[in-house]
Every structure is written in structure tokens, then in C-alpha cells.
Amino acid sequence: MRRQGLLSATGLILLSLIVLMTLHEWEDRVPDFLTQREDTPLIIAEAVTARSFTIEGQLEYDLQAEKLTEMDLLGETLLEHPRLALHDTQRIWEVESQAGRVTDKGRHIRLTGAVAARHFGGQPMTLHTEELVYRSSQEQISAPGAVRITHPSGSTRAGAMEANLVTGELQLKNRVESHYDMPAS
Amino acid sequence: APPAGEITVRADQATFRQQEGLGVYQGNAELRQGNRQINADRIELRLSDGAFSRAEATGSPVRLREGDILDARGQVLVYDVTSQTITLTGDAYIRHEGRTFEGARVVYDLGSRNVEASGDGEGQRVRLVIPAQDTRESTTTPEE
């Protein structure tokens, strides 16, 4: 078999493989502080109460949670068993759920898991769903999925919901069905 | 079937204005109560003191049926719970136990089952049609 020099084709392939492996090995050894992992929480706090105010200094919402985890690099805050009370001069909605996620500097709150919301304006009403999103800049809460609402003299189901926190108007979509008890005549 | 008293309302979408006790149902709107059924484009339900008090339906036309004793239509239908009446306006028509009533405005009393039709004083007069063999007489005096 003819002797092949170091730089023969086989040699070149072997050499490049060795170089690649060395580089790969080196990359793993880069010191941790240069590549902080994104999923490292900055703060973990328990039994937390937080309040958010409008520019005019008006209370916008107060938020309580059994546990709060601040994910600084991701720009989000994770909540366990949050209770969110929304205010517009007075408390108008109170929402509880299993989990929550706050993003966009507190302007976007997504609540998930057995979400229960109570409306305090006008006639009392409660709403149950699996996901509720609060957008403070639009003064709106919305449920992208099925909702079940209990309201005076009845209940209503719908495929999605949006509520305007200023006007108090609720838009129900994707087929709506309501049941009303009749007053005794 | 839901209890006679309970009212079921269905539609493509709805808007609730809690402060005013108002629910507006739009798109293939339907209201059912026992064997009474209203179909319309839009049904507006009003609650007073938390209780259902009034429904106003609009459509082209609104249809009202109650089993096979009542079939009615009009551009607007108002169901007033307090007075227990259903009022149809705008080319209103009711066929009730075989008799038909047409006029600008027709009122059906849910308690007495009476029908009252009225014109609009301008052009639309009342038209009442009683079939030759009136079903009510045949049921009351079969031997004649």
C-alpha cells in the first residue's frame, strides 16, 4: 500500500476532526460568569404583595402571590397562586388563579389554571376560565378560551371574552348561550 | 326540556353591560322558553333588579312560534314580562289557533291568550281572517 504523507486526504480529515473536537471541548469550559444562564432566577420571594400605579398616581392593580420568581434576563415574573385586584377609582375585578406570568414591565399579566374572576361593578358577576390576560395599557382583560359566567338570574357560556375595564362592557364571542331563571309571576 | 319558566338565549356573540343590566345577543339569535321560540337577528335582554324583565328582538323578520297554536312575525317583537304580553310591530302577522291577524301592531296576551291588532292610522289597516270552519266552534259544539 503506498505510504501516505501526513497531509494526505485521510490525514487532513483526521486532523480537522481533532481540531473540531478541541474547539468544542474548549467552548464548554468558558467560565460561567461570561454566559449567565437565562433561567436563573434573580429573586425568589414568598407571600408577596405588589401594587402598580398609573402615571397620575392612581392605584391600577394590586397583586398578591404565594410565591414570586423574578426572571430578570427573560424580563418576566412568575407567580404562584396569584390574586390580582384591578382598580379604576374603586376595585372592579378580582382574579385568582393557580399560576401567573407578568411581562412587559408589569403591563401584561397572564393568569392560568382554574382562573376565577369576580366583577364588582353594577350587578355582581363571576367568571370561570382557564386563561385570562390583563393588558393595563389597553385597560382590558380577555379570555381567549371558553368562559362560564354566573350573573344575576342566570349563567352564560361563551367561546371567548373581552372586558373593557373603563366602560364595564363585556364582549362574548364564539357562540354564546345564556340561561335565565324567570321571576315568579 | 328546561323548566317552562327558564329562558335560554343563544347567539353568535353577545355584549353585556353590567351597569345597565343589559345583554345584547347578535347573529342567529334565538330565545326559548318552554315551547315558545323567538328567532331574530338581534335580541336585547334587560334585567331589572337582577331579574329578567324585557326582551326586544329585531329581524327581517323576527319569528315567534309556540307549539302549533301560534305562529307570528314582524320587524320588531317586544316581550314584556311584567305585563305578560308580546307585541309585534312592522308588518305584524299572527296566526293563532287558525285565525290570522295582520296590522301595524299586534299584541298577544300570554295570560288570556287574546290577540289585539291595530293599524297605524296612515295606511296599514287591520286584517282578520277567520277560517270558514272555525276550529274553536268545531271543538266546542261537535254535534251540530
Q: What local confidence, expressed as pLDDT, does residue B54 receive?
A: 94
Interface of B with A in 18-37 (CB under 8 A): 18-21, 23, 25, 33
Render the burial of B7-36: b for 16+ CB within 10 Å, e for the rest. bbbbbebbbbebeebebbbbeebbbbbeeb
Q: How far apart are CA A98 and CA A117, in angstroms?
A: 12
Q: What local confidence, expressed as pLDDT, does residue A40 receive?
A: 83
Domain spans, chain A: 2-30, 43-180
**Closest CA of chain B from A130, distance in Å:** 20
Q: What local confidence, expressed as pLDDT, does residue B138 receive?
A: 36
CATH number of A43-180: 2.60.450.10
List residues bridging with A161 in a β-sheet.
Answer: A143, A172
- Note the pTM of the prediction, 2 decimals: 0.79
Q: What local confidence, expressed as pLDDT, does residue B124 receive?
A: 64
**Closest CA of chain A from B31, distance in Å:** 9
List residues bridging with B128 in a β-sheet.
Answer: B101
Q: What local confidence, expressed as pLDDT, does residue A20 receive?
A: 61
Q: How many CB pairs under 8 A join A and B?
A: 97
Q: What local confidence, expressed as pLDDT, does residue B82 receive?
A: 87
pLDDT band (50, 70, 90) for residue B129: confident
Q: What local confidence, expressed as pLDDT, does residue A5 receive?
A: 43
Q: What local confidence, expressed as pLDDT, does residue B119 receive?
A: 73
- Residue A128 burial by CB count (10 A; 0-12/13-18/19+): exposed, middle or buried? middle
What tens digit of pLDDT does each residue of B84-120 get? 999 999 989 999 888 888 888 899 998 888 888 877 6
**Closest CA of chain A from B132, distance in Å:** 37
The chain A residue lying nearest B6, using CA atoms, is A181
Q: Which residues of chain A have pLDDT under 50?
A: 1-7, 30
What tens digit of pLDDT does each residue of B1-58 get? 444 579 999 999 999 998 888 999 999 999 999 999 999 999 999 988 888 899 999 9
**Closest by CA position to A151, among listed B85, B52, B104, B91:** B52
> In chain B, what residues touch A174 (CB-CB under 8 Å)?
13
The label of the residue with cell 330565545 reads B31
Q: What local confidence, expressed as pLDDT, does residue A19 receive?
A: 63
The label of the residue with cell 400605579 reads A53
Q: What local confidence, expressed as pLDDT, does residue A123 receive?
A: 73
Do residues A131 and A147 touch, judged by C-beta distance below 8 A? no
**Closest CA of chain A from B144, distance in Å:** 40
Among A123, A172, A173, the residue with its CB nearest the CB of B18 is A123
Would you call B109 an interface residue with chain A, using a CB distance cutoff of 8 Å?
A: no
Helix residue spans in A32-157 (DSSP H): none
| B21 with A176: Cβ contact below 8 A | no
Q: What local confidence, expressed as pLDDT, does residue B126 receive?
A: 74
Q: What local confidence, expressed as pLDDT, does residue A157 receive?
A: 98
| B7 with A158: Cβ contact below 8 A | no
| B18 with A185: Cβ contact below 8 A | no
The answer to whether residue B141 scores a pLDDT higher than 50 is no
Do residues A77 and A102 touch, judged by C-beta distance below 8 A? yes
Would you call B9 an interface residue with chain A, using a CB distance cutoff of 8 Å?
A: yes
Residue type, A116: A
